[in-house]
Amino acid sequence: MVIKKKNSRLKQDEWLERSLKQLAQNKGNFNIDDLVKKLGVTKGSFYWHFKNRDDFIHKLLDYWESLSTQNVFVEMEKYCDADADKRLLELMRLLRNKTVCQHDIAIHNMATLNKQAAAKVLKVDKIRLNYVSSLFREIGFRGKDLDVRVHVFTVFHSLREGFLGKKLTDSEAELKAMHAFFIKK
């Protein structure tokens, strides 16, 4: 599938956004020549925005982190005065309604082949785990029960659409049932 644009000049953010989509479709595999072709731009456009492949990967990973993690935290600030139970439910709603996790499998796959991606994935996973852990800890979970819930919650929400085939369009009733499952003591 070739993505065409009337004007073949892309801004750097457009390059990153479209590249993430292509990366997700290719499960984390890409080369610059194929990417340029699929985006319908010239190789010169790539080198206008990025020094080389490593620079591109660095900027793409930063863009992914911002889109999939930092933007979630910004949205969650709206609920900073709510209790942890309510914040967890709102996080689940956000992850259900936003496409913040749609690139995670591709990025994790990329991390198996690229040290730069592996380092970024470790960093982002740690940030996410710490955030989710703080919510479950505030709800009252400790020890192994806390660890298991945090990991299951994080993996489920990061990988369920691409890996489990579960679409991110659960009904409100399904969402509340999942929430009840996660907080049940």
Extents of the domains making up the chain: 52-183
- 116 token code pair: 């730069």
In the predicted model, what is the mean pLDDT of residues 13-22? 89
The pLDDT of 32-60, averaged and rounded, is 91
| Mean of all residue pLDDT scores within the chain | 86
**Residue 184: band (very low, low, confident or very high) from pLDDT cuts 50, 70, 90:** very high
Percent of the chain residues topping a pLDDT of 90: 52
What does pTM read for this prediction?
Answer: 0.85
Of the candidate ranges 26-35, 47-56, 114-123, 165-174, the one whose mean pLDDT is the lowest: 165-174
3 Rama sector, left if φ>0, alpha if ψ -120 to 50, beta otherwise = beta
End-to-end CA distance of the chain: 48
pLDDT on residue 167 = 60
Residue indicated by tokens 């085939």? 165
Mean pLDDT of 8-35: 83
Q: Which amino acid does the sequence have at 77?
A: E
**The residue to which tokens 């457009």 are assigned:** 14
Q: What is the pLDDT of residues 65-81, one digit of tens each?
A: 999 899 999 999 999 99
